[in-house]
A and B are shown apart, each in its own frame.
Chain A
Amino acid sequence: MTHAGNNSGSYLDAPHGIASWLLTKDHKRIAILYLISITVFFMIGGLFAAGIRAELLTPAGDLFTADLYNKVFTLHGVVMIFFFLIPSIPATLGNFLVPIMCGAKDLAFPRINLLSWYLYLIGAMLTLGAVFMGGVDTGWTFYTPYSSMASNTNVTLAALGVFIAGFSSILTGFNFIVTVHRMRAPGLTWFRMPLFLWAMYATSLVMILGTPVVAITILLVGAERALGFAIFDPRVGGDPVLFQHLFWFYSHPAVYIMILPGMGVISELVAAVSRKQIFGYSVVAYSSLAIAIIGFLVWGHHMFVSSQSIYAGLVFSIITMIVAVPSAVKTFNWAATMYKGSITWESPTYWVIGFIGLFLVGGLTGLFLGAMGLDVHLHDTYFVVAHFHYIMVGGGVMGFLGGIHFWWPKMTGRTYPETAGKIAAILVFVGFNLTFFPQFVVGYLGMPRRYHAYPEEFQILNVMSTGGATVLGIGYLLIVTYLVASLFKPRNASANPWGATGLEWDIPSPPITLNFETEPIVTEDAYNYIGRAQKAREN
């Protein structure tokens, strides 16, 4: 085993200089480039979120004009979804870990991987350009005919940004699928793969099947605006609801792009912090695929009150209820994995418990929305806002941060202060619940989303929410602070600080450029803690 200070050939050291980073084909460096970019966009999106919460402190629309508020929440959604959440885990942890977990030297197409990051940047810059030229006010959903006919903001530019960023996501998914199929090391059969790989594979399927549909949809809106075409225009008989079908055909599965990777991370973390084989490995693996596939058949549940046929609604509702089952099964399996484990109380455990708690609430509140008669009341209220934040932030971001805390020593070769890590996890958990739990209540009361001003009786709940958001924000800032600070300290991480299994823990921290000195050969199942302990005892 190689230890700290003994690996100057690491990917971080091999050629220095800006150009060596900007032109790198090393998946690990691209992961770092992505990590930096999405952190910047997370902060931009967070700033918009702070704006929203500040405005909603009082019932009157007094901080921003209505117009500005609409732009703020639109950009919060666009930035967070397309430029943070969708690339978050896949493009950072996924990019870093998929080849290593496969036992490969890189992804199948390193140049396309770099191209993906540049496309992301171009898309992000175009969208930021739209912000500087006055913003966009359509909401991140770009619903027609508002987006195609009524809005007089920079919809075309922002849509182009999202369109291009979509291709970066397609290319990432494409790379992962080929890598998992063709680059696995000898002995690494499908059912020996770490569950994170299964999750990334399922996510990639959604990326390559769903993203092109939203790309063409957004292109059609662009053609309506820029060329005067008529696709969704009701004046010539076009159907605005068709836009919603095409949009949600992608954007519902896109939710799984945001949550499946988080589930994959948690599967790794649960096993590692419990030092135990994951309970029901193959069930957890298959449930990822089930979620990815069934997730394509539920999009119409966003449209129960959109004038869609009530019989179509029936089909979408029942499939929605069915897709809840594999998520529930996963959660039970995680809990069961901890039974009779050897559970550490280091910081990753805090993230695991936090994730399970928030994901439970997020998933279960989905049942309220899947039940059609109830959704009529809840649709487009703060109940929905709270629900998807529990999934995408409670699930997605907690998973992302849990993964970052777990693999940070591997990625950077540095450790962060344990106490700070635990405090941050608690702050984020508490702050998150304070922010979003009141929104369930205010949603059931009937407060619609995207409201700049609201009736006075909703104020107290909104004040609670804003208070919680402050705690949440402090938690996030704390994390950024100690992680960045750790970079200025000498490399002190051992190759396997958690005593975890997995190919990534058998190589130095940080890894060398081509990951492995020799092609690894896999001879055991994933999470073989018992076997490893026996071997250690025999030695």
Chain B
Amino acid sequence: MLQHHFFNMGQQLEASVLGMWVFLVTEVMFFGGLFMAYILYRSMYPDAWLAGSHELNEMLGGINTVVLIFSSLTMALAVRAAQVGSWMGQVVNLILTIIFGTIFLVVKYFEYAAKFEHHLVPGPYFDPARDPAQQLYFSLYFMMTGIHALHMVVGIVLMLIILRMAWKGRFSAEYYGPVEVSGLYWHFVDIVWIFLFPLLYLIGKHH
């Protein structure tokens, strides 16, 4: 379990946890560029943002938010189960996490499909009757949620790998680094959604 270049297990765990945090900082900067574009254009075109937001289904978005919050809970439980060495706890919670993640993506698929139907995808087929600045809104909507969904896909693949390792009983109170580190990633992806949901779906909903 101890890789050749570490001097002890503690150093190995610390390194991998710090590594994930550094990676997440990178991710924050990556999404940060999109948020900058969002802030600038929203302040330039508040009406287009309002109109664009009205086209999103806040019901489906809300369901997905709840789904992801639950997946974060099961993820946290899976990490806990690994730390206390519960095989059953790990396997059940990891499977639940994967299921929640998949539900999220399925819902997202239906949302995307509706956007195609309503000519809300930016480009030559964008509804010409709409204010062209809404193309900016929908371009950012697709980039932000698309990249987020891609992160979800990566997260699910990661969870499948962790599940396989957990199934084989690889984790214990002494060695649970991979579960903890992938858990950090999963929580991060959830948190990104917690920002995306109000910013994209709930504009003007307080009126």
Q: A residues within 8 Å of B by Cβ?
A: 99, 104-110, 170, 174, 177-179, 181-183, 208-213, 215-217, 219-220, 223, 227-231, 233, 235-239, 242, 245-246, 249, 514, 519
- Cβ B26 vs Cβ A208 within 8 A: yes
- Cβ A174 vs Cβ B19 within 8 A: yes
With known contacts A220-B143, A237-B136, A227–B123 Cβ distance under 8 A: yes
Q: Which of B5, B19, B136, B147 touches A231 (beta carbons < 8 Å)?
A: B136
B165 within 8 A of A: no
With known contacts A170-B26, A216-B30, A236–B123 Cβ distance under 8 A: no
- Cβ A177 vs Cβ B22 within 8 A: yes
- Cβ B4 vs Cβ A105 within 8 A: yes
- Cβ A514 vs Cβ B4 within 8 A: yes
In order of increasing CB-CB distance, the 8 nearest A-B pairs are A228-B123, A106-B5, A212-B30, A216-B33, A236-B132, A105-B5, A229-B139, A212-B29
Contacts of B15 in A (CB 8 A): 108-109, 178-179, 182-183
With known contacts A220-B143, A230-B122, A514-B4, A178–B18 Cβ distance under 8 A: yes
Contacts of B18 in A (CB 8 A): 177-178, 181-182
- Cβ B7 vs Cβ A229 within 8 A: no
- Cβ B19 vs Cβ A230 within 8 A: no
Q: Besides A177-B18, A179-B15, A230-B122, 7 other CB < 8 A contacts?
A: A105-B6, A182-B11, A182-B14, A227-B122, A236-B133, A239-B44, A514-B4
Contacts of B96 in A (CB 8 A): none
Instruction: Of the listed stretches B34-42, B54-62, B101-109, B184-192, name the one at the interface; the rest are far from the partner chain.
Output: B34-42
With known contacts A229-B123, A230-B136, A231-B139, A519–B7 Cβ distance under 8 A: yes
DSSP majority for the A interface?
helix
DSSP majority for the B interface?
helix
- Cβ A239 vs Cβ B29 within 8 A: no
9 contacts between A and B (CB under 8 A): A182-B11, A182-B15, A208-B22, A220-B37, A228-B122, A231-B37, A242-B36, A242-B37, A249-B33
Contacts of B29 in A (CB 8 A): 208-210, 212-213
Q: Provide the bound-state CA to CA distance between A227 and B34, in Å.
A: 17
Interface size class, chain B = 35 or more
B45 within 8 A of A: yes
Residue of B4, B15, B22 with highest tally of chain A CB at under 10 A: B22
- Cβ B26 vs Cβ A229 within 8 A: no
Q: B residues within 8 Å of A by Cβ?
A: 3-7, 11, 14-16, 18-19, 22-23, 25-27, 29-34, 36-37, 40-41, 44-45, 48, 122-124, 132-133, 135-136, 139-140, 142-143, 147
Q: Provide the bound-state CA to CA distance between A230 and B19, in Å.
A: 35
Q: How far is the CB of A204 from chain B (nearest CB, A)?
A: 9
Q: Provide the bound-state CA to CA distance between A239 and B124, in Å.
A: 19
- Cβ A237 vs Cβ B4 within 8 A: no
Contacts of A177 in B (CB 8 A): 18, 22
Residue of A223, A237, A246 with highest tally of chain B CB at under 10 A: A237
Q: A204: nearest residue on chain B (CB-CB)?
A: B22
Q: How far is the CB of A287 from chain B (nearest CB, A)?
A: 23
Contacts of A216 in B (CB 8 A): 30-31, 33-34, 147
- Cβ A174 vs Cβ B23 within 8 A: yes
Contacts of A174 in B (CB 8 A): 19, 22-23, 26
Q: B146: nearest residue on chain A (CB-CB)?
A: A223
Q: Provide the bound-state CA to CA distance between A170 and B30, in Å.
A: 11
Q: Provide the bound-state CA to CA distance between A22 and B139, in Å.
A: 41
Q: How far is the CB of B114 from chain A (nearest CB, A)?
A: 18
Q: A105: nearest residue on chain B (CB-CB)?
A: B5
Q: Provide the bound-state CA to CA distance between A257 and B30, in Å.
A: 18
Q: How far is the CB of A241 from chain B (nearest CB, A)?
A: 10
Contacts of B6 in A (CB 8 A): 105, 183
Q: Provide the bound-state CA to CA distance between A181 and B22, in Å.
A: 11
- Cβ B19 vs Cβ A237 within 8 A: no
Q: Provide the bound-state CA to CA distance between A196 and B10, in Å.
A: 27
Q: Provide the bound-state CA to CA distance between A348 and B83, in Å.
A: 53
Q: How far is the CB of B11 from chain A (nearest CB, A)?
A: 6
Contacts of A212 in B (CB 8 A): 26-27, 29-30, 32-33
Q: How far is the CB of B118 from chain A (nearest CB, A)?
A: 17
Q: How far is the CB of A515 from chain B (nearest CB, A)?
A: 9
Contacts of B132 in A (CB 8 A): 230, 235-237
Contacts of B22 in A (CB 8 A): 174, 177-178, 208
Q: Provide the bound-state CA to CA distance between A179 and B5, in Å.
A: 11
- Cβ B33 vs Cβ A208 within 8 A: no
Q: Which of B19, B40, B143 touches A239 (beta carbons < 8 Å)?
A: B40
Residue of A99, A177, A181, A228 with highest tally of chain B CB at under 10 A: A228
With known contacts A208-B25, A238-B136, A213–B30 Cβ distance under 8 A: yes
Q: Provide the bound-state CA to CA distance between A106 and B27, in Å.
A: 25
